[in-house]
Chains A and B, each alone.
Chain A
């Protein structure tokens, strides 16, 4: 294995960690209430622009970027749940799909209107340059983004499995009525899940802003990526999302390296369609 190949795989893993972080939000919502947020990628995009606004317009430090995105998106998630998702959740399938699609269009083109279609980036060197680890060159922003994303995804997992709130969230996703009988308010838990999921998307966006140029339409690709990750990892499984996110990151990096940049997404979508066909419950999920 050549060093270049190692470098490609490592950078794939780091990007994959960010995918894992925002996909863990999508999978949490899906697992809890069988609703797919088609606007999830656009939430990530809002996180990216939050980073841009904080650093370029408000001249804030790097440290503010993550918290700002988390708070803003948490609020957005809770608002969307109460204003849109809760009323349509028990409605017909068409209404469920339409609602988050409408949301996606609305957010995407509001960003388009405010920021215009052109790509923007965070100031050069905001997070430092490259690091040489035994001949492998690592982008420092990418390294930081990847590591933070892994830590936060694991944090999300621990929150769900080792805290009281986490147990309540899982109880609601397992059996809404039984949870209600145990004195848990499903509504509040679902709102919290939307808040957490959106905050995860927001932070992931803030991290991605350090790696990628920002544009209003990037959410479309990111949403599809999240679908792929969630399908792979199993709907509702955060550890599954972590493993699948890292895998997808590597698959993208390798197919871009071997066949050319356009095959990045081609490879991933092809795997997605095959996956849905062969094993719709995902790799780690149960049927």
Chain B
């Protein structure tokens, strides 16, 4: 069984790597890159929301910081935006620490509400702060000056850049799953008080999870800004950005390694197809569908598609033995 699974994984990996070669059209190329980008964001959210069970609805603040800082670096000093990526990560980590201390005293719904409020607060401030472009936002370099601007016409370079980043995020998550910290986070998710009584340093590990999560979310935001070359408050700091990370992770399976990637592979094409099919009004239809899907997931299978897959696999495994017994 293990051999067959490894083969399947290898085939999936080969498909992902070869995707831009197979689908060379502009629409499909862009779509592939967007799927990976969404998977990076959702995987980053997953570390805190999925593994540690702290459901942040304010991750757009880190995404937004990640998107804004590179373009600010360009605006102020004409540096290649990519120089701003590490700066953005530092900013995001500082914000995460500032926010982590007060909000981690809150559990469950309270934490979610606090994170929404902080994110909205930041969005309103950014929208009214002329130094960072106010409601209009920021532009990246209009034409590529050097290759360092990472401004390409084709989406293929972005695809492989995003794939590399996603591999890093998933690699860290994979390592986390197996480390002491992974066990601590799952213990915290299962019951904070119980975890504390067993000697898990709850607040410290929640903060670690938040820092990892915020840092990677910030990188996702930076990648968005690098690819699109334009940001405004609503498109990177908006509530929908946070919500989309959650939906993508939850559809695939929150707290699983590949859940966010699977969720992204379903929801992002759905979003792009409805947007292009229904034009400007399509965003309405998209979110009606997203809302419906998220309700169905919550109602029938909170474990997401990974859970359904796991159960189906268990069913297949049992089948032959049962069949043998009958015979």
Chain A residues positioned under 8 Å from B103 (CB to CB): 276-277
Stretch from A127-135, A152-160, A193-201, A261-269 contacting the other chain: A261-269
Q: B299 an interface residue at 8 Å Cβ cutoff?
A: yes
**In the complex the two chains form, is B116's CB within 8 Å of A109's CB?**
no
Chain B residues positioned under 8 Å from A36 (CB to CB): 109, 112-113
Known contacts: A113-B281, A227-B113, A269-B120. The answer to whether A102 contacts B55 by CB under 8 A is no
Chain B residues positioned under 8 Å from A265 (CB to CB): 120, 124
Q: A104 an interface residue at 8 Å Cβ cutoff?
A: yes
CA distance A96 to B106 in the complex (A): 17
Chain B residues positioned under 8 Å from A220 (CB to CB): 239
**Cβ distance B307 to chain A, nearest Cβ, rounded Å:** 11
For chain B, give the interface size range: 35 or more
* Chain B positions 166-201 with a Cβ under 8 Å from a chain A Cβ: none
Closest to A117 in B: B284
Q: A178 an interface residue at 8 Å Cβ cutoff?
A: no
CA distance A67 to B103 in the complex (A): 40
Chain A residues positioned under 8 Å from B246 (CB to CB): 98, 101
**In the complex the two chains form, is B298's CB within 8 Å of A88's CB?**
yes
CA distance A239 to B294 in the complex (A): 34
Q: Which of A87, A110, A224, A276 has the most CB of B within 10 A?
A: A276
**Cβ distance B79 to chain A, nearest Cβ, rounded Å:** 31
- Which residue in B112, B114, B293, B298 is a CB contact (below 8 Å) of A273? B114
Q: A121 an interface residue at 8 Å Cβ cutoff?
A: no
**In the complex the two chains form, is B291's CB within 8 Å of A98's CB?**
no
Secondary structure of the A contact surface, majority rule: helix
**In the complex the two chains form, is B102's CB within 8 Å of A113's CB?**
no
**In the complex the two chains form, is B254's CB within 8 Å of A84's CB?**
no
**Cβ distance B44 to chain A, nearest Cβ, rounded Å:** 16
Q: Indicate with 1 or 0, residue by residue over B96-118, a CB within 8 angstroms of chain A CB atoms.
A: 00000011011011101110111
Q: Which of A34, A94, A277 has the most CB of B within 10 A?
A: A94
User: Apart from A106-B291, A109-B286, what are 5 other A-B pairs with CB-CB below 8 Å?
Assistant: A94-B302, A97-B109, A106-B292, A107-B291, A276-B117
21 A/B residue pairs, CB under 8 Å, sorted by A: A88-B299, A91-B302, A94-B298, A96-B298, A98-B247, A98-B302, A102-B290, A102-B292, A103-B291, A106-B287, A108-B291, A112-B284, A113-B281, A220-B239, A269-B117, A270-B121, A273-B102, A273-B114, A273-B118, A276-B106, A280-B106
Mark A residues whose CB is within 8 Å of B. 34-36, 83-84, 87-88, 91-99, 101-110, 112-113, 116, 220, 224, 227-228, 231, 262, 265-266, 269-270, 272-273, 276-277, 280
7 A-B pairs closest in CB distance: A106-B291, A102-B294, A105-B291, A102-B295, A95-B302, A99-B298, A109-B287
